């Protein structure tokens, strides 16, 4: 059989041993450290010189593949197969159109409106019919989104009770639900109720840097007052509770970054560590501000290269302070609900969307992402179910040739169609991510780890943050 080197490989030098090289497969997520001699043989395609045992391992790890294999098609087919076998129906619900905060980068227009009883019943019935119609579903997960979902807590309770009743009737388990909240109303008793009654296992809360940096981003609409102190207090009370430590639910903190607040990220990392919260949260991650509903918020962003550089430095700081460490970005089998057959988002007015980024906006009011309304009629036509076929046919994106496609999955089809390539930060610092992973894997002591991290940090440069 004839072989070829997989297209989906990232090569880099080892930081631990100058006589070795690193190879990372974005398909299998395997990171190998091999001799420079072997790395050279692979890049020169001298497969006939490899011992059988070595050849077999490289084939197993998908470093080497059949010469006739269309790897892009293989990845796409695996993605489709994964989606077809998924036994969890994921639905997104916006119980309230209101949010207390006036974040400049938010693309939504907020109003003090809640789900009506009619809309609650019809959303529950639509979910019930989906579960009843498709026998592959054994589980249901709800994503509670906003606005700020907790400003509609009473409507959440009504809808959740109906959903649970339907699940019991169909012997479906409600589990692993998620909520994205600003944290303002997340008191401990509310948190406990969400875990126990709503079966929420993942909470995502946004903190955009420490103190005033956050407050300049995420202030109250009413009087422009800051929100950091209240949100931080709520999170602290939850994380320090026995209920949290004894449970399996997880809190993730998202930090949105732009040119105005990036100096506030490092102090936030240190504060969470000093308050001993860093090892209680599941994850602290960083996101670059982007254009939401074409509001041009991205004009305040760091460049792609700058953000990739600073993100690496923040990850190094997290490791030094004892945070749970992240591995290299993993394989992604689905982009979002836009490419899903059944998942939908329901807004406060009963509108049904195939995308979570378009509700409460004028620009998408009558767009192809609007499927209908639960109180009227809903179309079966969905625009991007064939997205992966478009990628394979080399339409509308550059994903077909990208080595990172298996761990990105095209990210956001809508952004591609609007001319805003949504390439992840990993595209710009994947080689450095690989070296960082090597350091974590091979450091035997804390002092050795810190020494290697310091040396690694000194080698970082913005001009090296590029895809090649």
> Looking at the structure, do residues 202 and 284 belong to the same domain, yes or no?
yes
Instruction: Provide the domain limits for residue 105.
Output: 87-302
For residue 468, what pLDDT is reported? Answer: 67
Here the tokens at position 252 are: 């993730």
466: in domain: no
196: in domain: yes
- From residue 1, alpha-carbon distances to 9, 25, 38 in Å are 21, 21, 20
| String of DSSP letters for 336-353 | -GGG-SS--EE-TTSEEE
For residue 463, what pLDDT is reported? Answer: 94
> Looking at the structure, do residues 247 and 359 belong to the same domain, yes or no?
no
Question: pTM value?
Answer: 0.94
464: in domain: no
Residue 446 neighbours by CB distance under 10 Å: 10
> Looking at the structure, do residues 12 and 63 belong to the same domain, yes or no?
yes
> Looking at the structure, do residues 120 and 246 belong to the same domain, yes or no?
yes
Q: Which of 37, 69, 101 is the last residue of a domain?
A: 69
> Looking at the structure, do residues 55 and 127 belong to the same domain, yes or no?
no
For residue 397, what pLDDT is reported? Answer: 66
> Looking at the structure, do residues 128 and 184 belong to the same domain, yes or no?
yes
> Looking at the structure, do residues 35 and 96 belong to the same domain, yes or no?
no
How many structural domains does the chain have? Answer: 3
Sign of CA pseudo-dihedral 438, 440, 441, 444 = positive
Q: Are 454 and 317 in contact (CB under 8 A)?
A: no
Residue 165 neighbours by CB distance under 10 Å: 11
Q: Residue 185, preceding bond cis, omega within 30 degrees?
A: no
115: in domain: yes
Rounded to 5°, the CA angle 185-214-286 comes to 95
How far apart, in whole angstroms, are the C-alpha atoms of residue 183 and residue 254? 12
> Looking at the structure, do residues 150 and 272 belong to the same domain, yes or no?
yes
Place of tokens 């979902």: 149
79: in domain: no
CATH number at residue 3: 3.90.930
186: in domain: yes
> Looking at the structure, do residues 91 and 65 belong to the same domain, yes or no?
no
> Looking at the structure, do residues 64 and 97 belong to the same domain, yes or no?
no
Q: Are 55 and 70 in contact (CB under 8 A)?
A: no
Q: Which of 24, 39, 69 is the last residue of a domain?
A: 69
Q: Average per-residue pLDDT in the chain? A: 95
CATH number at residue 107: 3.20.20.70
> Looking at the structure, do residues 256 and 144 belong to the same domain, yes or no?
yes
pLDDT beneath 70: ranges in the chain:
395-397, 468
Phi–psi pair at 153, nearest 5 degrees? -60, -40
324: in domain: no
Q: Which of 417, 435, 454 is the last residue of a domain?
A: 417
Q: What is the pLDDT of residues 389-422, one digit of tens each?
A: 888 887 666 888 999 999 998 888 888 888 888 8
230: in domain: yes
Q: Are 175 and 139 in contact (CB under 8 A)?
A: yes
> Looking at the structure, do residues 2 and 106 belong to the same domain, yes or no?
no
Q: What is the pLDDT of residues 361-378, one digit of tens each?
A: 999 988 999 999 999 999
Here the tokens at position 240 are: 């320090």
How far apart, in whole angstroms, are the C-alpha atoms of residue 238 and residue 246? 12
Here the tokens at position 415 are: 């952004």
């Amino acid at each position: 059989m004839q072989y070829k080197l997989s297209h989906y490989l990232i090569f880099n030098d080892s930081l631990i041993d100058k006589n070795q090289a690193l190879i990372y497969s974005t398909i299998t997520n395997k990171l190998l450290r091999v001799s420079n001699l072997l790395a050279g043989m692979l890049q020169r395609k001298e497969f006939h010189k490899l011992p059988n045992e070595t050849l077999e391992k490289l084939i197993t790890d998908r470093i080497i593949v059949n010469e006739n294999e269309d790897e892009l098609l293989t990845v796409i087919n695996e993605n489709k197969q994964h989606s077809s076998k998924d036994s969890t129906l994921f639905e997104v619900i916006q119980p309230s159109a209101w949010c207390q905060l006036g974040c400049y980068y938010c693309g939504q227009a907020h109003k003090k409106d809640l789900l009506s009883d009619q809309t609650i019943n019809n959303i529950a019935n639509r979910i019930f019919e989906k579960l009843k119609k498709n026998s592959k579903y054994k589980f249901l997960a709800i994503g509670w989104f906003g606005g700020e979902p907790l400003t509609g807590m009473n409507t959440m309770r009504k809808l959740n009770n109906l959903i649970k009743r339907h699940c019991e009737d169909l012997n479906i388990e409600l589990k692993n639900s998620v909520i994205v909240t600003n944290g303002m109303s997340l008191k401990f008793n509310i948190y406990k109720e969400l875990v126990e009654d709503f079966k929420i296992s993942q909470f995502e809360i946004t903190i955009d840097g420490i103190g005033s940096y956050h407050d300049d981003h995420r202030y109250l609409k009413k009087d422009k007052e800051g929100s950091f102190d209240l949100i931080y207090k709520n999170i602290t009370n939850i994380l320090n509770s026995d209920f949290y430590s004894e449970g399996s639910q997880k809190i993730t903190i998202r930090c949105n970054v732009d040119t105005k607040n990036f100096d506030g990220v490092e102090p936030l990392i240190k504060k969470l560590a000093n308050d001993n919260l860093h090892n209680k949260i599941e994850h602290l991650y960083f996101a670059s501000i982007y254009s939401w509903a074409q509001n041009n918020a991205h004009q305040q962003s760091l460049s792609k290269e700058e953000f990739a550089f600073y993100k690496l430095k923040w990850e190094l700081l997290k490791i030094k302070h004892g945070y749970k460490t992240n591995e290299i970005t993993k394989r992604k089998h689905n982009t979002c609900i836009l490419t899903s057959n059944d998942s939908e988002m329901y807004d406060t007015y009963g509108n049904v969307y195939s995308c979570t980024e378009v509700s409460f906006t004028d620009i998408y009011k009558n767009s192809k992402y609007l499927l209908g309304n639960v109180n009227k009629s809903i179309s079966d036509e969905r625009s991007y179910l064939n997205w992966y076929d478009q990628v394979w046919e080399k339409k509308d994106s550059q994903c077909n040739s990208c080595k990172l496609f298996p761990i990105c999955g095209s990210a956001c089809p809508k952004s591609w169609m609007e001319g805003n390539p949504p390439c992840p930060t990993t595209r710009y610092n994947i080689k450095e991510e690989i070296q960082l992973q090597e350091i974590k894997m091979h450091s035997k002591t804390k002092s050795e780890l810190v020494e290697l991290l310091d040396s690694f940090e000194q080698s970082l440069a913005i001009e090296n943050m590029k895809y090649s």
